[in-house]
Amino acid sequence: MIFGVGLIGGSMALALRAAGGVSEVVGCSRSEANLKEAQRLGVIDRWTTAPAQACTEADIGVLAVPLGSMQGLSAAIAEHWPSEAVLTDVGSSKQAVLDAVRAGFGELPRNFVAGHPIAGTERSGVQAAFASLFQDRLVILTPADETSPLAAERVAAMWRATGARVEFMTPAHHDHILAATSHMPHVLAFALVESLARMSESDEIFHYAAGGFRDFTRIASSDPVVWRDICLANRDAILDVLQRFQGDLDGLRQVIARGDGAELEARFGFAKDARDRFSEKMQAQLDQ
Amino acid sequence: MIFGVGLIGGSMALALRAAGGVSEVVGCSRSEANLKEAQRLGVIDRWTTAPAQACTEADIGVLAVPLGSMQGLSAAIAEHWPSEAVLTDVGSSKQAVLDAVRAGFGELPRNFVAGHPIAGTERSGVQAAFASLFQDRLVILTPADETSPLAAERVAAMWRATGARVEFMTPAHHDHILAATSHMPHVLAFALVESLARMSESDEIFHYAAGGFRDFTRIASSDPVVWRDICLANRDAILDVLQRFQGDLDGLRQVIARGDGAELEARFGFAKDARDRFSEKMQAQLDQ
């Protein structure tokens, strides 16, 4: 049962089908057009726009909706969700999801396992879904104290079937790490594109932008609602790392302003070394 | 005659050879190892480490060295460069190059045409050179008042032979536009990677970074010396756009801090629209 059949939910369905890991995939979303498209694309077998329906037959459920919809969706299924069925999510902020599910259900279901696949593209919607999205990617599971270890193992097995590697950490630690690696870069990319687009020469600026700019700003084409919700849900961790970055950027600006070539070369060289190590490690993982 | 046989100089040589536009390519650089490698790779026909040598036979010359080396190189060839031969460069800051060449030669040669191909990769060195680097890319030429129109036309024709499209603008305007589209994003990418690499959890942060982060930080793997020189040469324009961006980023941070979801969604949506339009236009150019 996939709640929210977009890029992530749709790709999960496709990956689990490809792995032969599911007998039937039921899609649930607010939009009938979205669900019909998902069925046409072979992503789901059948669908409903009523979250409470079809719950009774569900074996495993995935909340793949924007963070802002987690609590309402949880409340809508709370009375109907079978206590023995496993439930998980794919939200980018784990403390916020646990709070939302806890609030929606009244208490956190023992079979709810919070999770987050570190995968995606700047595109959104079920049309962008593809079966290999999670291949060799990391999925972080953040069980709460109440979470059943057996449920966590079932969710981990489901993710491994999609080709992903599974790791466990606490919700707070997840949120701190993801603020640095994902949320803050998205905020920066949105901010940069917005800043340039508001300049009087913006048309010309975008005309002369090239491949480096295209890659740097790719994530600024991400879904604004998803990222609005992430910024609201993981606000404190994002503000921490953003403020730190603002201080570092201002330091670098001062180095440029005083024309200190040796310091600039040292800083850029330090960053390049870190980026090259990251890139080699990522390539090695993909080559495994 | 290519002075500085790295990614750009080497790719120019390969592209011009592929187009049948040159009879012989002579490479000149400080490093014998680099020149031997370039010869082994078929990028150049022969080489010298003495800039003054071989100048007398040159028909067209390209200064493809870091900005910081332009003045010294100009001074080294000034006495030897044939006045009828055309000279150009590929530097990322055009006012600085014109100043450097003017200082090196004593006065700006009429046959010097400042130019800048809007193309590159985060890799550097002749090993990274390839013939199609400039295919369908823009090259900006910024002739000075003294520049011979005939020389400008010869340089434009050379670039068109590599597959590039040529546009003309003033040096100051070039520097302003490039600060926004290229220089500031590079500074941001270096700053972000440095900021994260200095955090105590940096190993973990890079471990959990994914494709969005990889693309966002790709340009932080660029050559530190090249970017040191660009920041020094185009300092004022970079500081202008960087300060503007810092103000905009701080505004966005305040929106996150006060949890204003509607404003966040509007800003992210504005940025996404601008990025999507840029992306479509870039794709359309590549498809032409």
Count the neighbouring beta carbons within 10 Å of the beta carbon of residue A226: 23
Residue where one domain finishes, among candidates B150, B169, B188:
B169
For residue B211, the model assigns a pLDDT of: 82
Mean pLDDT in chain B?
94
CB B228 within 8 A of CB A265: yes
Q: Does B240 share its domain with B101? A: no
Which of B122, B256, B268 minimises the CB distance to A238? B256
For residue B210, the model assigns a pLDDT of: 83
**CA Rg, chain B, in Å?**
21
Average pLDDT of the residues in A81-95:
95
Q: Does A137 share its domain with A19? A: yes
For residue B281, the model assigns a pLDDT of: 84
Residue where one domain finishes, among candidates A134, A169, A204:
A169
Residue A270 belongs to domain spanning: 174-287
Residue where one domain finishes, among candidates B154, B169, B184:
B169
Give B65 to chain A, closest Cα distance, Å: 16
| Partners of A165 in beta bridges | A138
Q: Does B226 share its domain with B165? A: no
DSSP state at residue A221: G
Task: Write out the two tokens for B99.
Answer: 């100043």
Average pLDDT of the residues in A101-118:
97
Q: Does A199 share its domain with A224? A: yes
Q: Does B154 share its domain with B193? A: no
Q: Does A152 share its domain with A188? A: no
Mean pLDDT in chain A?
94
Average pLDDT of the residues in A232-261:
97
Q: Does A241 share its domain with A161? A: no
Q: Which residue of A has its CA nearest to B219?
A: A212
CB B201 within 8 A of CB A173: no
Average pLDDT of the residues in B52-68:
90
Instruction: Tell me, yes or no, if A58 comes closer than 8 A to chain B by beta carbon.
Output: no
Instruction: Tell me, yes or no, if B258 comes closer than 8 A to chain A by beta carbon.
Output: no
Which of B197, B242, B272 minimises the CB distance to A220? B272
For residue A288, the model assigns a pLDDT of: 57
Count the neighbouring beta carbons within 10 Å of the beta carbon of residue A63: 29
Q: Does A147 share its domain with A184? A: no
CA separation for the pair B26, B187 (Å, rounded): 34
CB A229 within 8 A of CB A67: yes
Average pLDDT of the residues in A87-113:
97
Q: Does B135 share its domain with B193? A: no
Instruction: Tell me, yes or no, if B138 comes closer than 8 A to chain A by beta carbon.
Output: yes
Q: Does B84 share its domain with B124? A: yes
Q: Residue B54 above 80 pLDDT?
A: no
CB B179 within 8 A of CB B234: yes
**Positive/negative CA dihedral, B225, B231, B234, B238:** positive
Contact: A209, B182; criterion CB under 8 Å: yes
Instruction: Tell me the per-residue pLDDT of A162-214, one tens digit each, with 9 for 90 and over.
Output: 999 999 999 999 999 999 999 999 999 999 999 999 999 899 999 998 888 88
DSSP A68-95: GGHHHHHHHHTTTS-TTSEEEE--S-HH
Number of domains into which chain A is organized? 2
Q: Give the CATH number, domain containing residue B67.
A: 3.40.50.720
- Give the pLDDT band (50/70/90) at residue B115: very high
Instruction: Tell me the per-residue pLDDT of B17-39, one tens digit each, with 9 for 90 and over.
Output: 999 978 899 999 999 999 999 99
Instruction: Tell me the per-residue pLDDT of B147-187, one tens digit each, with 9 for 90 and over.
Output: 999 999 999 999 999 999 999 999 999 999 999 999 999 99
For residue B55, the model assigns a pLDDT of: 85
Q: Give the CATH number, domain containing residue B258.
A: 1.10.3660.10
Q: Does B182 share its domain with B162? A: no
Please name the helix (run of DSSP H) or strand (run of DSSP E) that holds residue A28, with its range, or none: strand A26-28
Q: At what angle do helices A7-18 and A149-161 cross, to 10 degrees?
A: 80
Q: Does B196 share its domain with B162? A: no
DSSP B263-276: HHHHHHHHHHHHHH
